[in-house]
Amino acid sequence: MTRAVVISGYGPPEVLRIGETEVGPPGPGQIRVAVRYAGVGPTDLAIRAGHLDAVFPAGPGAVLGFEAAGVVESVGPDVRDVATGDEVAVFLPGLGGYAELVVADFWVPKPASVAWTDAAALPASVEAAARVLEQLALGAGETLLLLGAAGSVGRIATQLAVGRGATVVAAVRPGDFAAMRDLGATPVDYAAIGNGRVDAVFDASGRGDLPGAIALAGGPQRVITLADHRAHELGVALSNVIPEGVRAALDLVMSQLAAGRLALQPQTVAPLAGTAGVHARLESGELRTKVLLEI
Ligand SMILES: NC(=O)c1ccc[n+]([C@@H]2O[C@H](COP(=O)([O-])OP(=O)(O)OC[C@H]3O[C@@H](n4cnc5c(N)ncnc54)[C@H](OP(=O)(O)O)[C@@H]3O)[C@@H](O)[C@H]2O)c1
């Protein structure tokens, strides 16, 4: 059995407790990783509360966490690009990151120059950011409105979109305007997104002015949200993981990070035993950073 944070059932942060979970050997095309840091994201909080039961059912004993970084402990049949002892970041669409060991289908080698915490903070946000920009088919010279541009997904998406030659209008709180300008974006207050026309909208918040954003784009056709529950009624696509794109996205962004060309959200590190407290502080809005659990 492996030490992990498990949930006792859906509920408040207190349902998260240190416990044990069974982690089997890696199958064909998989690796098993001894986790050093695991990323915490807002979707973890929604799953724990039971809000995503239809998509991510998590019964008693389930382990949350879509991303981690650590050392390859064993490799399954057919795995040739990494070996035991290699350092990697892993994306875990089936969860399991808040644990000492995890089996992964998707990984990227961690260059020595990349910090462990940065490697663990990347995978889920990179996957979502790169995927949605592809789905929007955002091209050079176009204008993208990014709701939630100062978040974990939003900051990466901003930099990838600027790198594509797009103009990014970053909807953030005024305190984040300077950070957005540093990333090459034009900030606007997310409480008043204005009336300038845009070609496409990436909602990386789920809590933004989606109806207003649709109006700025001239309709919902090129508007994609990651999390707004009004998506269906507003005629907007709600984007979910596309496995085929994961490896290319992780490779691209890890190499940009290693080259010093990517800025991430500020981070907080907490011990695994502090996971419930972290969920509570994120939920209350007291913590606005990316959180990495030290295993
Ligand atoms: N569907 C998928 O595959 C997928 C994948 C990854 C993430 N997600 C979801 O995508 C969302 C973003 O994830 P994340 O990790 O980037 O979260 P995050 O780091 O917490 O970022 C969310 C951002 O939204 C901002 N925000 C809050 N209220 C807003 C408003 N009214 N208008 C515009 N922005 C607002 C927040 O700003 P303040 O802190 O200033 O309030 C924050 O910067 C989450 O809901 C997550 O569950 C979905």
Does residue 58 belong to any structural domain of this protein?
A: yes
Q: pLDDT per residue over 165-223, tens digit each? A: 999 999 999 999 999 999 999 999 999 998 899 999 999 999 999 999 999 999 999 99
Q: What percent of the chain has pLDDT over 70?
A: 100
Alpha carbons 281 and 153: distance in angstroms, whole number: 19
Pocket of ligand 1 (CB under 6 A): 41-43, 124-125, 128, 147-148, 150-154, 171, 173, 190, 204-208, 226-227, 239-241, 288
Q: Does residue 221 sit in the same domain as residue 286?
A: no
Rounded Cα distance between 272 and 38, Å, is 9
What is the pTM assigned to this prediction? 0.97
Give yes or no: residues 111 and 149 share one domain.
no
Domain limits at 230? 128-238
pLDDT, one tens digit per residue, over 133-143 is 999 999 999 99
Distance 206 CA to ligand 1 centre (A): 6
Q: What is the whole-number distance in angstroms between the Cα of residue 280 and the centre of ligand 1?
A: 16
Contact 278, 64 (CB under 8 A): no
Ligand 1 probe mutation, 56, 226, 236, most atoms within 8 A of CB = 226
Residue listed under structure tokens 């289908």: 105
- Rounded to the nearest angstrom, the distance between the alpha carbon of 240 and the centre of ligand 1 is 15
Domain-embedded: residue 288: yes
Ligand 1 atom closest to the Cα of residue 43 is 47
Residues 86 and 49 in one domain: yes
For residue 66, tell me if it sits in a domain: yes
Note the pLDDT tens digit of each residue in 60-109.
Answer: 999 999 999 999 999 999 999 999 999 999 999 999 999 999 999 999 99
Helix (H) or strand (E) holding 152: helix 152-163
Distance 108 CA to ligand 1 centre (A): 24
CATH number of the domain encompassing residue 171: 3.40.50.720
Phi then psi for residue 178, to 5 deg, are: -65, -40
Residue 8, domain member (yes or no): yes
| pLDDT tens figures, 268-285 | 999 999 999 999 999 999
> How many separate domains does the chain show?
2
Closest of 71, 76, 167 to residue 120, by C-alpha: 71
